[in-house]
Amino acid sequence: MAAQQNPIVLQNQTDDLPLLLIHRPPFFTILPLTHLLSRHFHLLDPHLQPPSPSHPLPLDDFLSLHAPSLRAVVVVGIHPFTADHLRLLPSLELVAGTSVGTDHIDVAACRRRGIAVTHAGYAFTEDVADYAVALLIDVLRRVSASDRYVRSGLWPVRGEYKLGSKLGRKRIGIVGLGRIGSKVANRLRAFGCRIAYNSRKEKPSVPFPFYSNVCDLASESDVLVVCCSLTAETHHIINKDVMKALGKEGVMINVGRGALVDEQELVRFLMQGEIGGAGLDVFENEPNVPRELFDLDNVVLSPHSAVITPESIESMTKLVLANLKAFFAGEPLPSPAQEDQI
Amino acid sequence: MAAQQNPIVLQNQTDDLPLLLIHRPPFFTILPLTHLLSRHFHLLDPHLQPPSPSHPLPLDDFLSLHAPSLRAVVVVGIHPFTADHLRLLPSLELVAGTSVGTDHIDVAACRRRGIAVTHAGYAFTEDVADYAVALLIDVLRRVSASDRYVRSGLWPVRGEYKLGSKLGRKRIGIVGLGRIGSKVANRLRAFGCRIAYNSRKEKPSVPFPFYSNVCDLASESDVLVVCCSLTAETHHIINKDVMKALGKEGVMINVGRGALVDEQELVRFLMQGEIGGAGLDVFENEPNVPRELFDLDNVVLSPHSAVITPESIESMTKLVLANLKAFFAGEPLPSPAQEDQI
């Protein structure tokens, strides 16, 4: 890694903080992160340019102006960081992501340039796993639908709400047994579920049955929990064949990325009762959610919030800082993005 | 037990099935249960009298008519079975309940008469524990509220939904570490929670800290999960002092009985932001739920459905039959109600 050949030690350099680019959407930032980073770095944020210029510089010009001295960027959330951005930053050596997934970053182009990429590591994995379990019990036991039923005042009028289905002894197929998938598995074992998984390759240390083919996993599962990384190979990994194999009573939970699932087919399968239900925290075209889903009681919809709690933001913030400090100190990075995240 | 002194063996008596009273609300029954029981018993159901009489007999007269030969009754759901009913049934020897709790049955009066009482044992405990966990994650992570947010179309308009709070490392106080509470504890340990409990007495085999006082437990907890039996001692066990001790960020989950909580105080605490949130499957005056709760996003409301899935109904049905068969065969009952169910 280039940084290791040319270390800059941060200690006693408070007058001359290293430059750090904050790459984020115009209307979104993570305040605890930028507050913490601003104590260790001189932050360059194209959306927060000093008030002196009557017209702020366009992004490209802003980047070009600061490009020669920029060695590191923090990519906030899932804001796309593309080959076009990389071209403007010839000195870049580190892309520090704040999310677990790196599909919004052109990791291949980074690798070709020898640019290191770090991600949120384990900071969010517990929260995502918790949320996946909550979505699953919610779909099976109709928790959100029951809440709507009570709030609409129907309980005294129509009586008992329709029964849900028991979680225990359900056959759970986990698509992507990585950091998140493993935690989902551990949680669901405590409920008496039976776990199997699909992954890029079999994991010898894992006690669960492995299926090399997602369709085979689906046909042997009551529930699929989708929590793999989004890559070219996993795009639409849950297609109509998989949904057909999952079957009329089958339930699908997606806490990975929207594009892991063929959303148009999913909507069709749900509308026609060809799968049993779905718990969806992610969508193909966020923040837009197919409106056909709004009237279905067998789906639970959530605005890509599985990943975040104040506690996990604090963990992530510390991890991003640790990655940046390690980089500028020429030390090994705490959470480099792996190529095999599925 | 009287049945043991006077056993009736069921085998080869299909022509002369034992009489069994079905005690249920007028508009509710459990069909899989009555179907199964009808193959083994001659069912007497005051709400299903033969069409011959132009006016069906009032309940008291119906019971009096059949009373001399009635040795067993099945009490369906939580339909009250009182000392008044007992007085009409001088030959009664067994009250077979279909729920885990027996607070709707006058157990004390049964004991005085030497009448055995059975309950649903472990049939529903997993479902209730699952639901308690779902309600807790839902309140902490705002799952139902997020679902409302997405369905209302607000995500593209207002952006990210407000953050929830992480489950891991939360201090969970379990009120009533019986069959259900123990299963709640086991599940929540898999999420990295810290467990403590209150119970009628300390349980030596349990690895969790014991608090003899619910207020002390509340003040050391982020969450209270209420899952004890309702008795004279536990009525309003969650009163305003306990809620005050739980505090502004504290969350309460009730999957026990509505009257375990002082509901009027709970509504006041929630309205005034004096506790953080609540997940409620049970209410003091079901099916009526305080309307003030309908507009709160930090509560999850559910129509007393934690207990039931088709799978658990099947287990319960088999258990009720096993209790009845054991009774008529003069054998030990599989699931007698214990006096110390808290």
**Band of the pLDDT at A67, cuts 50, 70, 90?**
confident
Q: What is the mean pLDDT of residues B295-324?
A: 94
Q: Which long-range contacts (CB under 8 A, 24 or more apart) does A182-185 make?
A: A182/A206, A183/A125, A183/A126, A183/A128, A183/A129, A184/A129, A184/A132, A184/A133, A184/A225, A184/A227
Domain positions in chain A: 2-121+309-328, 125-301
Task: Tell me which residue in B159, B287, B294 faces A151 most closely, judged by beta carbons.
Answer: B294
The residue of chain A with its CA nearest to that of B154 is A287
Going by their DSSP bridges, the two strands A19-23 and A42-44 should be labelled as: parallel
pLDDT, tens digit, 9 for 90 and up, residues A73-130: 999 998 999 999 999 999 999 999 999 889 999 999 999 999 999 999 888 899 999 9
Is it true that B2-123+309-328 and B125-301 share their CATH fold? yes
Q: By C-alpha distance, which of A318, A321, A270, A330 is closest to A295?
A: A270
Most B CBs within 10 Å, among A149, A151, A183, A304, to test the B interface: A151
Task: Please state, rounded to an integer, the average pLDDT across all residues of chain B.
Answer: 91
Tokens of A200: 């890029």
d(Cα B110, Cα A98) in Å, to the nearest integer? 63
pLDDT of residue A103: 92
pLDDT, tens digit, 9 for 90 and up, residues B163-182: 999 999 999 999 999 999 99
Residues of A in contact with B312 (CB under 8 A): 166
d(Cα B47, Cα B64) in Å, to the nearest integer? 15
Residues of B in contact with A285 (CB under 8 A): none
Calculate ∠ Cα A214-A219-A223, nearest 5°.
85
Given this structure, which CATH class describes domain B125-301? alpha beta
A141 touches chain B (CB under 8 A): yes
**Amino acid (1-letter code) at residue B228:** C
For residue A122, what are the contacts with CB-CB under 8 A and spacing of at least 6? Answer: A179, A315, A335
d(Cα A82, Cα A75) in Å, to the nearest integer? 11
d(Cα B124, Cα B107) in Å, to the nearest integer? 20
The residue of chain B with its CA nearest to that of A298 is B147
Q: Is the CB of A191 less than 8 angstroms away from the CB of B126?
A: yes
**Band of the pLDDT at B52, cuts 50, 70, 90?**
low
Between A55 and A144, residue with greater pLDDT: A144
The question of whether B286 is a catalytic residue gets the answer: yes
Most B CBs within 10 Å, among A78, A124, A125, A150, to test the B interface: A150
Residues of B in contact with A149 (CB under 8 A): 303
Task: Tell me which residue in A191, A294, A309 faces B130 most closely, judged by beta carbons.
Answer: A191
- The Cα of B96 is separated from the nearest Cα of chain A by a number of Å equal to 22
The question of whether B304 is a catalytic residue gets the answer: yes
Given this structure, which CATH class describes domain B2-123+309-328? alpha beta
Task: Please state, rounded to an integer, the average pLDDT across all residues of chain A.
Answer: 91
Count of A-B CB contacts under 8 Å: 179
Q: Is the pLDDT of residue A3 over 90?
A: no
Alpha helices in chain B (DSSP H): 2-5, 31-38, 59-66, 83-87, 107-113, 125-141, 143-151, 155-158, 179-189, 214-219, 240-246, 263-271, 310-328
Regarding an ipTM greater than 0.90, the answer is: no
DSSP bridge partners of A75: A23, A97
What percent of chain A lies above the pLDDT cut of 90? 81
Best mean pLDDT range from B48-57, B66-75, B250-259: B250-259
The residue of chain B with its CA nearest to that of A144 is B144
Q: Is the pLDDT of residue B72 over 50?
A: yes
**Band of the pLDDT at A26, cuts 50, 70, 90?**
confident
Q: How would you class A95 by CB atoms within 10 Å of its CB: exposed for 0-12, middle for 13-18, buried for 19 or more?
A: buried
Q: Is the pLDDT of residue A14 over 80?
A: no
For residue B243, what are the contacts with CB-CB under 8 A and spacing of at least 6? Answer: B218, B250, B252, B265, B266, B269, B274, B275
Between B26 and B267, residue with greater pLDDT: B267
Q: Is the CB of B138 less than 8 angstroms away from the CB of A142?
A: no
Fold of A2-121+309-328: Rossmann fold (3.40.50)
Tokens of B165: 């709070």
B272-284: burial string, b at 16+ Cβ within 10 Å, e else:
eebbbbbbbbbbb
**Band of the pLDDT at A68, cuts 50, 70, 90?**
confident
What percent of chain B lies above the pLDDT cut of 90? 81
Residues of A in contact with B166 (CB under 8 A): 126-127, 130, 309-312
pLDDT, tens digit, 9 for 90 and up, residues A217-243: 999 999 999 999 999 999 999 999 999
pLDDT, tens digit, 9 for 90 and up, residues B126-166: 999 999 999 999 999 999 999 999 999 999 999 989 999 99
The residue of chain A with its CA nearest to that of B280 is A147
CB-CB contact of A276 with A297 (8 Å): no
d(Cα A291, Cα A70) in Å, to the nearest integer? 43
Helix, strand and coil in chain A, % to nearest 5: 40, 15, 45
Q: By C-alpha distance, which of B265, B220, B212, B210 is closest to B243?
A: B265
pLDDT of residue B15: 52
Q: Is the CB of A302 less than 8 angstroms away from the CB of B159?
A: no
Q: Is the pLDDT of residue B1 over 50?
A: no
Strand ranges (DSSP E) for A93-190?
A: 94-97, 116-118, 171-175
pLDDT of residue A197: 98
B122 touches chain A (CB under 8 A): no
**Band of the pLDDT at A48, cuts 50, 70, 90?**
confident
pLDDT of residue A140: 98
